[in-house]
Amino acid sequence: MSALYDLGVRVAAMKPVESGGTSDSQQLRHAAGDVFPAELVTPVSLPDPVAPLLAARRAHRTIELDVLDRAFTTLHEASDMIVVEGAGGLLVPLTPTVHIGDLFRRWELELIIVAVNRLGAVNHTLLTIDAARALGLRVRAVVLNTVVRDAPSADDPIALDTNQSLIAELRDVPVYRFPHLDGATRTADHRAAGRDLVEWLRAQ
């Protein structure tokens, strides 16, 4: 993950609820320079790798929205910008009546949709854009993430090359194709790719 602290401003990163371990929140915290404590970056952490509502029930807990609100407000007031990562998708439930999209609307956030660039990406990306707009959220951009699969032939290479333009055309939204980066890629290349993405987002 490209370092958020490379952006030249004080950036807070947050994953309000994480289920199935703390690897995502640890990476976010590190990317933001380890400035803010873990309990603010991820105020609710649940052990089971399932939707937060179910994970909370299995842990005999309730996700309290006021706890999330307080952490967000603290980070927002202490930073120049805040990046909030969702959990599994826009409509993933936090409580029986509140999902991730509701939380983003509550906090008046703009949305960057990240999807794996593969066959099928057009359908679920368009569905997410439509759901976000129905909630009154502004979709700032779509980022198509390039991954390498054990069986590349399972994905249609035509789809990989055309998803970007088709999504942009059908929903009038900027779409960025992020390159594949793995553990063998140099840290400098990770950061360069991240900076390129940020500069592109700033131009939108």
**CATH placement of domain 1-107:** 3.40.50.300
CATH architecture under which domain 110-204 falls? 3-Layer(aba) Sandwich (3.40)
Beta strands 111-116 and 175-178 are unpaired
| Segment 108-138, tens digit of pLDDT | 999 999 999 999 999 999 999 999 999 999 9
Task: Identify the pLDDT of residue 25.
Answer: 83
Q: What mean pLDDT is reported for the chain? A: 89
Name the band, by pLDDT with cuts 50, 70 and 90, for residue 151: very low
Angle made by CA atoms 112, 147, 172, in degrees to the nearest 5: 35
- Does the pLDDT at position 2 exceed 60? no
* 177 is an active site residue: no
Task: Identify the pLDDT of residue 1.
Answer: 47
| Segment 69-97, tens digit of pLDDT | 999 999 999 998 899 999 889 999 999 99
Q: Is 85 helix (H, G, I), strand (E, B) or coil?
A: coil
CA 151 – CA 55 distance, rounded (Å): 32
CA 133 – CA 149 distance, rounded (Å): 32
Catalytic residue among 4, 12, 15, 99: 15
Question: Measured between alpha carbons, how far apart are the two ends of the chain, in Å?
Answer: 22
- Does the pLDDT at position 4 exceed 90? no
Task: Identify the pLDDT of residue 190.
Answer: 74
Domain boundaries, the chain: 1-107, 110-204
| Segment 172-195, tens digit of pLDDT | 999 999 988 776 566 777 778 877
Contact predicate 190/2, CB 8 Å: yes
Q: 131: Cβ–Cβ under 8 A, 6 or more apart, which residues?
A: 90, 91, 101
